[in-house]
Amino acid sequence: MSKKKAHSKKSPKPDTTIDGLVHLIEKSQKNFTKFLAAPRQTISGLLDPFNVVGPFARSAKQLALHPVKLVKANVDLLQTHMRLWQNTARRAIGQDAKPVAEADKGDRRFTSAEWEERAAFDFIRQSYLITSRWLVDTMSDIEGLSAEDAHKVRFHTKQITDALSPSNFMLSNPEVIRETVESRGQNLVRGVKNLARDIKAGGGALKMPLTDENAFELGVNIATTPGKIVYQNDLIQLIQYEPLTKQVYRRPLLIVPPWINKYYILDLQPSNSFIRWAVSKGYTVFVTSWVNPDESLSTKTMEDYLDEGIFAALDAIKAATGEAEVTMIGYCVGGTLTGAALAYMAAKRDKRVKATTFFAAQMDFSEAGDLKVFIDEQQLESLDQRMAEHGYLDGDKMSTAFNMLRANDLIWTVYVNNYLLGKEPMKFDLLYWNSDATRMPRTLHMYYLRECYLHNNLAKPGGMALHDVPIDLGKVKIPIYLQASIEDHIAPYPSVFKAKQLFSGPVRFMLAGSGHIAGVINPPDANKYNYWMNEAQPKDLDAWMEGAESHPGSWWDDWDAWLAPLSGELVKARKPGAGKLDIIEDAPGSYAKLKS
């Protein structure tokens, strides 16, 4: 056979690890070239977008001023590693040895049994845990640093140690090694293919999917509770849900979700939908579905969100049902807006809202948790510059900040699953919602971050003004149900609890198990987690915790028992469109379907 004929033969389909990887890398060369170029692009031209160089420089200076403390920390680290070596040696000769370091409860990086059963990987795991904790603790206990610098140094040190976990690398992750051997490297081939796909989807930057984004469709298998859009303006579509009972409470229930996410976190699946459950309990439920804003809405203000969001919804509810009096729920930043609205209404002697519930909502931001590491003058200036081009903050940028708060779960576990194990993203309704990001209009977003996170003005009587009306939460005297979650990393429960000192009326504080989402979305039928309640409701957090009693399962029934007596007598169920408002379209509506 001639050389010409030999070269004319079709190349064999790659079936080995090396050939497969080379084939895919060559095929995806353009995308990888874009990816390699992407890190050279800095945010707004700044080399330090998170403003960490100064805090780390000051921490290094303070460490140098306390050499004895640093030496002691290093000696402690060496001694702990010596204990690990001794235990490893005992295991090697068949003796039992208690672990020197154990992973934290809920740490999913080391759940594979091989991390403990195989001595080498057990040593790697414990060595990493010892060293990473030592580094974070050492950087967290530096004298002479401001509280802001110390918080920022600890947070970003933790980001570094999380990134360096042995679970994130092929040759030090036993699960990846096993999968590579068993599949003859096809997991890596699939991983490179996934990587190329995600770089292409990100236009040269890695856009790592948390879930299979083709697995769900709004109104089909997610956000399916029957309802109608009965009102809309530039900022909201108002959903009125179909009744599931013959009678309902006279006062409708208005839910104000956060505008930084889509509303349907409260209506994922029928089995875990808070909205469907509330409707089944006899509440006439309305929800504000916020628009996903574009450049045309960049100058919308907090007053606009108050007027075109909450107040427009209240007017529409009266037209739809004939009822002026309502109860409300505000979730996260939607709760912050609701709190400000209640104070404004109190100042104007507007008594339409008779009781309000807050889900994971902060009024006092002095202890607002790790999100505060992203809030200082330099970072806000950088953020404002980024938003100036289009008039909004892209939803993916906001999601990145939230994902960093739980980097192991929302970044590194996904990275290992998608690229090292070569698996497809899981089909998970909560992660689908989490990935369905919304944009932030420039004027509103900067106002919220400066007034609440940076200056904490909402918690100060008269510190914030809306329509030139000083806001004082102390004027709010209606009954309040205050929900918080013990593991909430976005609205920490000590921060949420502070609202008890701000409102003047009766406040029922309840502490749920789990975190920012699962602590709220916990239907009774699931029989998961627990919640704590202190019926005496002291205003001191330590006293509240000391006297709190744990209850198994969901807190939803406790909330229903609180709200039902405040919701008026039972009346005939109301159908959407039966009042003065025409039906515009079916829920979930077009605003919820707008993608960033």
CA distance 325 to 287: 16
Residue 584 DSSP label: -
Predicted local confidence at residue 402, as pLDDT:
87
285, two tokens: 């439920």
CA distance 159 to 291: 33
Q: What is the CB neighbour count within 10 angstroms for residue 335?
A: 28
* pLDDT per position as a tens digit, 345-388: 999 999 999 999 999 999 999 999 999 999 999 999 999 999 99
Long-range contacts of 395-398 (CB under 8 A, 24+ apart): 395/292, 395/437, 395/438, 395/439, 395/440, 395/596, 396/207, 396/437, 396/596, 398/260, 398/437, 398/438, 398/440
Stretches in the chain below the pLDDT threshold 70: 1-47
Amino acid at site 181? V
Nearest to 291 by CA among 419, 440, 511: 440
- Please name every residue paired with 551 in a beta bridge, in sequence order, or none if there are none: 531
Domain edges within the chain: 227-371+472-586
> Domain 227-371+472-586 classified CATH 3.40.50.1820?
yes
* pLDDT per position as a tens digit, 265-310: 999 999 999 999 999 999 999 999 999 999 999 999 999 999 999 9
416, two tokens: 């290992």
CA distances 418 to 114, 170, 173, 428, 496, Å, are: 20, 13, 14, 15, 36
Predicted local confidence at residue 296, as pLDDT:
97
Nearest to 340 by CA among 300, 314, 310, 299: 310
Nearest to 84 by CA among 104, 95, 99: 99
CA distance 384 to 283: 41
Q: What is the CB neighbour count within 10 angstroms for residue 533?
A: 18
Using an 8 Å Cβ cutoff, are 44 and 50 in contact? Answer: no
133, two tokens: 């904790």
CA distance 256 to 269: 19
* Whole-model pTM over 0.85: yes
- 17-27 and 29-37 helices cross at what angle (nearest 10)? 70
Using an 8 Å Cβ cutoff, are 292 and 591 in contact? Answer: yes
CA distance 540 to 215: 46
Using an 8 Å Cβ cutoff, are 267 and 225 in contact? Answer: yes
Q: What is the CB neighbour count within 10 angstroms for residue 458?
A: 23
Predicted local confidence at residue 12, as pLDDT:
39
CA distance 530 to 552: 4
Predicted local confidence at residue 48, as pLDDT:
78
101, two tokens: 């370091």
Predicted local confidence at residue 112, as pLDDT:
92
Q: Which residues are catalytic?
A: 332
Nearest to 436 by CA among 214, 261, 205: 261
Using an 8 Å Cβ cutoff, are 188 and 180 in contact? Answer: yes
Long-range contacts of 139-148 (CB under 8 A, 24+ apart): 139/59, 142/59, 142/62, 142/63, 142/66, 143/62, 143/66, 143/69, 144/62, 144/65, 145/55, 145/58, 145/59, 145/62, 148/55, 148/372, 148/376
CA distance 451 to 391: 19
Using an 8 Å Cβ cutoff, are 263 and 289 in contact? Answer: yes
